[in-house]
């Protein structure tokens, strides 16, 4: 399998690091992912029968399974893992490690309050009607005005909680290096990663590692701290389950660090060719080449690379697929809302 990267990679590193700590990728993880020829990505409005009937070799879903299968996760996952041809499908659970989400079990509504409305606010619209138990709610910029202010942490909020993400309402940047945030991610039966492992997922699909860049002024060691967090998650998960898969979405500039490359089984990238600056619009040559620098290095070292593009135009899809596959990557094309699975 492969992982996706969040956002676009900017020219943060001049070279690919050849040094670093010894790696500990799962024994057969990369081999398993290397057999993936098609993959899918759906975080909302999950219909198990429909997803199970797809031909994909790998599918990323939310840990909650859209809240529809409480108490029957093992049976649901067994169904999802079986392909129509009788083959085995890899099922990864989405996990945001750089943002808190207001629909997760740990959330307390008293942690945030509205800010004073801006004189020129940005309107944000919800593209999905999924409920509070659904996976990551997707929002995008829209023209016009809105009187709905962003939310900010209250005095009673935990020290790790940061401001609301204006592009993804209900998501909050977190001080990911804080011990209390890490405790919500792993190390206790109630922590997210522990639940994912116990439920029977094949691995985890880590998102929002790129948030480290937002904290560099407050935390100069933020980039190193994110490398440590990804490595710690991988180490902890494999102590629990040696063949557990770790895929990282976006933040591909972290692949310049050998330690990161060695702990991953795969990588993933959103918006490699389109959509960084405007929906459906081709990215600049510089943006594409910046990401490819890291993704190609990962591929050269045996890491499978997954790419998701949010495109609807068939001509663009064909061109993008040809380009992505020419790099040896595996492409998926779907809606940005991630509320359905395309063939």
Helix or strand holding residue 126 (H, E): strand 123-126
pLDDT tens digits, 213-222? 999 999 999 9
- The class level of CATH for 29-106+158-333 reads alpha beta
**Mean pLDDT of the region 39-52:** 95
Terminus-to-terminus CA distance in the chain, angstroms? 18
Q: For residue 119, what pLDDT is reported?
A: 37
In the predicted model, what is the mean pLDDT of residues 132-143? 33
139 pLDDT higher than 50: no
d(CA 18, CA 30): 20
Name the residue with higher pLDDT: 40 or 167: 40
pLDDT of residue 278: 94
- Indicate the range of 101-115, 132-146, 197-211 predicted with least confidence: 132-146
**pLDDT band at residue 70 using 50, 70 and 90 as cut-offs:** low
Q: At what angle do helices 73-81 and 192-199 cross, to 10 degrees?
A: 70
Taking residues 315-324, report their average pLDDT.
98
Contact 2, 306 (CB under 8 A): yes
Residues of the chain with pLDDT > 90, as a percent, come to: 77
Secondary structure of 43-94 in HEC code, one letter for each residue: CCCCCHHHHHCCCCCEEEEECCHHHCCCCCHHHHHHHHHECCCCCECEEEEE
- What pLDDT is recorded for position 67? 65
At residue 188, does pLDDT exceed 70? yes
**Phi, psi (rounded to 5 degrees) for 120:** -140, 65
Token digits for 81?
């893992």
**Residue 49 and residue 273: Cα distance in Å, rounded?**
32
Return the pLDDT at 73.
80
Q: Is the pLDDT of residue 28 over 70?
A: yes
* Rounded CA separation 26/262 (Å): 10
The partner residues of 333 in beta bridges, in order of sequence, read 309
What's the rounded mean pLDDT across residues 122-134? 32
Is pLDDT above 50 for 80?
A: yes
- In the chain, what percentage of residues exceed pLDDT 70? 81
Over residues 115-126, the mean pLDDT reads: 44
| Winning range, highest mean pLDDT, from 17-21, 41-45, 137-141 | 41-45
Checking if the pLDDT of 77 tops 70, the result is yes
Q: Is the distance from CB of 268 to CB of 261 less than 8 angstroms?
A: no
pLDDT at 131 over 60: no
Q: Of 9 and 81, which is predicted with more confidence? A: 81
Q: Is 172 exposed, middle or buried (0-12, 13-18, 19+ CB in 10 A)?
A: buried
8 Å CB contact between 306 and 271: no
Q: Are 20 and 258 in contact (CB under 8 A)?
A: yes
pLDDT higher than 60, residue 128: no
pLDDT, mean of residues 62-84: 83
What torsion, rounded to 10 degrees, do the Cα atoms 195, 198, 202, 205 define?
Answer: 10
Would you say 221 and 250 are in contact if contact means Cβ atoms under 8 Å apart? Answer: no
The 10s digit of each residue's pLDDT in 239-295 is 999 999 999 999 999 999 999 999 999 999 999 999 999 999 999 999 999 999 999
Q: 17 with 223: CB under 8 angstroms?
A: no
Task: Assess whether pLDDT exceeds 70 at residue 21.
Answer: no
DSSP string covering 212-268:
GGGGTTT-TTHHHHHHHHHHHHHHHHHHH-TT-EEEEEB-GGGGGSHHHHHH-SEEE
Give the position of tokens 């490699």: 272
Given pLDDT bands bounded at 50, 70 and 90, which one contains residue 89?
very high
Do the beta carbons of residue 204 and residue 193 sit within 8 Å? yes
- pLDDT of res. 22: 38
Evaluated on CA atoms 180, 175, 141, 319, the torsion sign reads negative
Name the residue with tokens 């405790």.
Answer: 183
Following DSSP, what letter does each residue of 130-199 receive, concatenated?
A: --TTSS---EEEESS----PPEEE-TTS-TTEEEEPTTSTTEEEE-TTSHHHHHHHSSSTTSHHHHHHHH
What Rg do the C-alpha atoms of the chain give, in angstroms?
Answer: 19
Cα–Cα dist 144/178, whole Å: 37
Per-residue pLDDT tens for 158-187?
999 999 999 889 999 999 999 999 999 999
């Amino acid at each position: 399998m492969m992982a996706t990267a969040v956002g676009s990679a900017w020219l943060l590193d001049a070279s690919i690091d050849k040094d670093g700590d010894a790696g500990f990728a799962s024994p057969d993880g990369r081999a398993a992912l290397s057999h993936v020829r098609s993959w899918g990505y759906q975080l909302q409005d999950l219909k198990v029968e429909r997803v199970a009937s797809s031909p994909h070799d790998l599918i990323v879903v939310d840990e909650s399974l859209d809240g529809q299968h409480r108490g029957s996760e093992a049976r649901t996952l067994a169904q999802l893992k079986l392909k129509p041809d009788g083959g085995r499908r890899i099922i990864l659970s989405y996990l945001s490690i750089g943002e808190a989400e207001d629909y997760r079990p740990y959330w307390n509504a008293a942690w945030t309050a509205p800010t004073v409305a801006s004189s020129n606010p940005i309107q944000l619209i919800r593209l999905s009607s999924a409920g509070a138990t659904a996976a990551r709610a997707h929002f995008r910029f829209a023209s016009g005005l809105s009187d709905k202010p962003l939310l900010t942490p209250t005095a009673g909020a935990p020290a790790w909680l940061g401001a609301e993400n204006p592009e993804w309402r209900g998501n909050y940047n977190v001080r990911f290096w804080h011990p209390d945030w890490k405790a919500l991610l792993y190390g206790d039966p109630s922590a997210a990663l522990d639940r994912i492992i116990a439920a029977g997922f094949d691995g985890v699909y880590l998102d929002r590692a790129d948030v480290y860049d937002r904290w560099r002024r407050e935390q100069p060691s933020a980039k190193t701290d994110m490398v440590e967090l990804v490595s710690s998650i991988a180490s902890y998960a494999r102590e629990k389950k040696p063949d557990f898969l770790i895929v990282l979405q976006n933040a591909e500039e972290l692949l310049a660090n050998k330690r990161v490359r060695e702990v991953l089984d795969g990588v993933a990238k959103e918006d490699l060719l389109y959509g960084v600056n405007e929906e459906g619009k081709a990215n600049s040559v510089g943006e594409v080449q910046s990401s490819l620098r890291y993704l190609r290095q990962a591929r050269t070292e045996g890491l499978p690379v997954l790419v998701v593009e949010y495109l609807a135009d068939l001509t663009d899809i064909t061109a993008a697929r040809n380009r992505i596959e020419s790099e040896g990557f595996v492409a998926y094309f779907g809606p940005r809302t991630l509320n359905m699975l395309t063939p």
